[in-house]
A and B are shown apart, each in its own frame.
Chain A
Amino acid sequence: MSDRDRERLFTSSPAPVVASFEELEAEPIIRREGSLYADAWRQLRRRPMFIISGVLIVILAVMAIWPGLFTRADPRACNLADSLLRPSSEHWFGTDVQGCDYYARTIWGARVSITIGVLVTACSTLIAVLLGSMAGYYGGWVDTVIARLTDIWFAIPTILGGIVILRSVFSTRGLLQVSLVLIVLGWPTMLRLVRSAVMATKEMDYVDAARALGVRNFRIIRRHILPNAVAPVIVYATITVGVIISAEAALSFLGVGLQLPAISWGLMISVAQNRILTAPHLLLFPGAFLSVTVFSFILMGDALRDALDPRLR
């Protein structure tokens, strides 16, 4: 599902976390050497969840960059005479209404999904880190303004906001327009995450020490505070890639996302929807690819969180 609000789940729950007596007692005795990341990496290498999702993501990335490695067929070279063929040895995934090779189109569909997923996540993370660290570090009116703006943004669910903006602002909608809208709607959750992480770190003694030594604010944020917010941001960003891909597909499906002749899984399913009884393969293949892609990123995020958030181990 595509709603960014769901992503709040992947941040820590608001319930108070209290270590038990036994943990309080046991902790100093059994603590092992090694940093969080070294420890996390040791953990990850043994996790099937991480390995499976990692392999899938690598395959998808290769598919997005060099689709030619997977298919020789041209996704746009279509022959109307071959319209709606069932899967066969010649056309592995069959053909669509236009008679295009569906396997080639499905492979090429990875490019749009991965591009939008990564682009949107990168940009909204950048915005969130900039604004979030400012809000968290400076506090005061800077924080108030940014926090209130975030509240307002939060009141508009992604799909609803996406429909309004895409429907009423752009007359043609390509990859850039859809990405832009998802960026505009996508930054607030991450911002809250960065803001609270920065606020927590700001209270640490070594930050006070740095400030007392006259280190400039920008440098304190960059060198001392942000590194501590990295772990939750990595986890959350990974999951966001999956969520954004799903959101793009949903918008394209609803007819407010990408437009033909773009090749996108959401669009393919949208076109297929009137024929699912006669030609279910038109739904199943892009649906399966889309699901596996989203699954990989969410699974990866889950694995990373398990490794980076020792609390839930």
Chain B
Amino acid sequence: MATTLSRDAVAGRPVDPAAPLLVVEDLHVEFRIEAGTVRAVNGLSYTLRRGETVAILGESGSGKSVSAQAVMGIIDSPPGFVTGGSVRFRGVELLDLSEADRRRVRGDRIAMIFQDALTALNPVFPVGWQIAEMFRMHRGVPRKEAREKAIELMERVKIPSARTRAGSYPHEFSGGMRQRVMIAMALSLDPEILIADEPTTALDVTVQAQIMALLAELQQQTGMGLILITHDLGVVAEVADQVVVMYAGREVEKGPSLPVYHRPAHPYTLGLMDSLPRRDVHTERLRPIKGSPPDLLAIPPGCPFRPRCPYARDICAAEEPPLAAVTSEHVSACHFWEEVSRERAGA
């Protein structure tokens, strides 16, 4: 047990004390299905540091959830394959670990919560049991003791009358309370990283704010790194330190969240902003992005955003734009990033 409890090794390999919490580099994920190969993630890189939050922003099908699953190592394979890149947790390459070793990392060191807690929790087991399972399976804690720890955790995420509620089933909770159960379960073993995959999408607006506040509070207490998968730019501005905008499996804009939010340098990010109601910028009306994301089985050559892009010119069809440096930390994959970023310069 000592090795699993020690936080200075990952699956028996010593950590690099100088390394950031998580470094994802040039990650590639493919799904090989009957109709062809879907390149769901196509060269994603980001760095997560202790106590920080990285937001991965994008529409459905942008590859944001898949990239998180690749970090977790829970992609169904086949059809999904991580075909390239590197995922280093405190300097230890996760992609090189055996499945058994990765399993020891999952839940214990890196935990994940999902969008819809109703379907993500097992419907036929009491929630207390599901939380206690973490202690029993990873730490070998006896059943009774694990149950007590589960109740403590439920109290910690502010579920009222936790002791009696521990015996209830997921369908007996409200959406917000269910998501709290998910969070309690994910945080049970004090993971160093929490991946939250659209944690508030299925919830009412007021409950959304409560859950985000709870996550922020817990992050403050534990110093864990948070990877927030979302399509909600508003959430990003409030909580994220870094943001990666994904489109059609590619990263199209990346940087510290304030510059990206206030001065986007990619037309897609700009489009996302315009489709949001905002208090700080006065706009006449909301402008949704026209068109729909490309068929991932047949991505046209050039820039994948071109068909929907108001800035598109001939070069966009011919050449896929490389990541251009807007500032030393802020990059954009657009041929005309300068023009785009001027859009908000005056605002």
Q: Which of A21, A26, A32 has the most CB of B within 10 A?
A: A21
Partner of A25 from B60, B119, B123, B297 at Cβ < 8 Å: B60
- A90 interface residue, CB < 8 Å from B? no
CA distance A29 to B304 in the complex (A): 13
A24 contacts the other chain (Cβ, under 8 Å)? yes
Given contacts A21-B115, A25-B60, contact A30 B66 (CB under 8 A): no
Whether B114 and A30, one on each chain, are in contact in the complex, defined by CB atoms closer than 8 angstroms, is no
Report whether A29 and B35 are in contact in the complex, using a CB–CB cutoff of 8 Å.
no
B206 adjacent to chain A (CB < 8 Å): no
Q: Chain A's interface: helix, strand, loop or mixed, by majority?
A: helix
> Could you mark each residue 43-78 of chain B with 1 if its beta carbon is under 8 Å from any beta carbon of chain A, else 0?
000000000000000001100011001000001100
Cβ proximity bits B246-260 to A, threshold 8 Å, 1 near / 0 not: 000000000000000
Name the residue of chain B whose CB is nearest to the CB of A313: B34
B101 within 8 A of A: no
| Residues on B with beta carbons closer than 8 Å to the beta carbon of A32 | 35
Using a Cβ cutoff of 8 Å, how many contacts connect chains A and B?
43
Q: A16-B123, A25-B65 are in contact. Are A30 and B297 (CB under 8 A)?
A: yes
Q: How far is the CA of A32 from the CA of B297 in the complex (A)?
A: 11
Q: Closest CB-CB distance, B231 to chain A, in whole Å?
A: 11
Instruction: Determine whether the beta carbon of A29 is less than 8 Å from that of B65.
Output: no
Are A29 and B197 touching (Cβ within 8 A)? no
Q: Which of A16, A21, A30 contacts B38 (CB 8 A)?
A: A30
Task: Give the interface residue-count category, chain B.
Answer: 20 to 34
B135 within 8 A of A: no
Q: Is A310 an interface residue (CB 8 A)?
A: no
A18 within 8 Å of B (CB atoms):
yes
Tell me, yes or no, whether B327 is within 8 Å of chain A by CB: no
B31 interface residue, CB < 8 Å from A?
yes
Could you tell me if A29 and B114 are in contact, using CB atoms closer than 8 angstroms?
Answer: no
B266 CB to nearest chain A CB (Å): 21
B295 at the interface (CB under 8 A from A): yes
20 A-B pairs in the complex with CB atoms less than 8 angstroms apart? A16-B123, A18-B119, A21-B69, A21-B114, A21-B197, A22-B75, A24-B60, A25-B60, A25-B61, A25-B65, A26-B61, A28-B292, A28-B293, A29-B61, A29-B296, A29-B297, A30-B35, A30-B38, A30-B295, A30-B297
New contact pairs (5) apart from A26-B61, A29-B293, CB-CB < 8 Å = A21-B69, A24-B60, A26-B40, A26-B296, A28-B60
Taking Cβ atoms with an 8 Å cutoff, the residues of B that contact A are: 31, 33, 35, 38, 40, 60-61, 65-66, 69, 75-76, 80, 114-115, 119, 123, 197, 292-297
The 6 tightest CB contacts between A and B, nearest first, are A29-B61, A29-B296, A18-B119, A25-B61, A25-B60, A25-B65
